[in-house]
Structure 1
Amino acid sequence: MSERIAVYPGSFDPVTYGHLDILKRGLTVFDHVIIAVLNNSSKHPLFTVEERVDMLKKATAHLDSVTVDSFEGLLVDYVQKKKVSIVLRGLRAISDFEYELQIASINKHLNPKIETCFMMTSNRYSFLSSSMVKEAAMYHGSVHELVPDPVERALKAKFDRGRSSI
């Protein structure tokens, strides 16, 4: 039997426990998951692609069946290059589903061999988004229970650096 591999794409700016929840639960379905950090030119990320990849590698170092990578361009091209046909995506709410369904539909149109596996996040993280984490951290809110320690430190350093130059 061949190995079941999925690509878990996203901006991960920054990675949260919600992302890691989807990843860990995805590993109960797939033998290997490639986390693919998107370099999206239309977004203005807080962290560089390299910083996001580094944080993800630290957060997943204990998971042998995870690879962290990055890509630019179309997800379907990246998935095809990796010889994978499954995309793993997390959902928090109905509003996520509408957006994710559009993406899955265009991906299917561009490459009919690609399937998208949607996984609901645990209720514990259903409110959590990277945007909310960044905003809380920017205003000195505690994000300790929302992100891994290396991410918390990186957020603090990023926002402390910004304050010192004001």
Structure 2
Amino acid sequence: MQRIALFPGTFDPVTLGHTDIIDRALPLFDKLVIGIGVNSGKVPMFSVEQRVEWLREIYKDQPTVEVTSYEGLTVNFCKQIGAKFILRGIRYVADFEYEKAIADINRKMEHEVETIFLTCSPEFSTIASTLVRDVIRNGGDAAQFLPDAVSSSLQYSKLS
């Protein structure tokens, strides 16, 4: 049986913190689905299409990675794609407390789906999409927090 994991998130934008978790998770699973959750209650800075495009560009040479978007409950999407694992990245203790509560609810709804936590590498622990959006929104240079595919497209969009 294939070990399929879903890495859900908004990825608004994709940061080096996200890619750190993804890169380190690749050897753990046969297939890793990066799922961009669409939440009608949130207004993202970047379109779903843009975020999918970034992730597909970053992982174009990685055949075990699939990028898609989904709506609704994450555990329902896991069933839909055959994922038995949900991958989550943890930066701080507060992240763990929040993520554990979600994992517990997911486990009650779908007993066969396990949540796997990976702590991010120390050099990426301060990178949060919320903070990166603030830097971008206020005209700062966020390149040091972003994969090249993301920062180069932002620089290009500033020129146009």
Q: TM-score range by the shorter chain?
A: over 0.9
Q: How far off is 1:150 after superposition?
A: 2.7
Structure 2 counterpart of 1:146: 145
Q: Which amino acid aligns with 2:75?
A: V
Q: How far off is 1:61 after superposition?
A: 1.3
Give the alignment of 1:79-158 within 5 angstroms: 79-156=78-155
- Alignment partners' CA distance in 2, 1:90 and 1:159: 30
- Alignment partners' CA distance in 2, 1:156 and 1:133: 14
Report the secondary structure of 1:28's partner residue.
helix
Q: How far off is 1:29 after superposition?
A: 1.2
Deviations 1:18-50, CA, capped at 9 Å, x for gaps: 100000110121121000000011211011111
**Does 2:62 align with 1:50?**
no
Unpaired runs of 5+ residues, structure 1, are 162-166
- How many aligned residue pairs are there? 160
Moved more, 137-146 or 32-41: 137-146
**Does 2:11 align with 1:15?**
no
- Alignment partners' CA distance in 1, 2:89 and 2:18: 8
Q: Which has the higher contact order (CA 8 A, sep 6+)?
A: 2
Deviations 1:110-154, CA, capped at 9 Å, x for gaps: 111110000000001000011111111222322222112231244
Structure 2 counterpart of 1:164: none
- Alignment partners' CA distance in 1, 2:18 and 2:44: 17
CA contact (8 A) 2:54 2:149 kept: yes
Unpaired runs of 5+ residues, structure 2, are none
CA contact (8 A) 2:7 2:86 kept: yes
Runs of 4+ displaced beyond 4 Å: 156-161
Q: Which amino acid aligns with 1:69?
A: T
Moved more, 145-154 or 63-72: 145-154
Structure 2 counterpart of 1:24: 23
- Alignment partners' CA distance in 2, 1:145 and 1:61: 22
TM-score by length of 1: 0.90
Structure 1 counterpart of 2:61: 62
TM-score by length of 2: 0.93
Q: Which amino acid aligns with 1:15?
A: V
Give the aligned CA root-mean-square deviation in angstroms: 1.6
CA contact (8 A) 2:4 2:82 kept: no
CA contact (8 A) 1:137 1:159 kept: no
- Alignment partners' CA distance in 2, 1:158 and 1:87: 33
Q: 1:160 to 1:133 in 2, by over 3 A?
A: farther
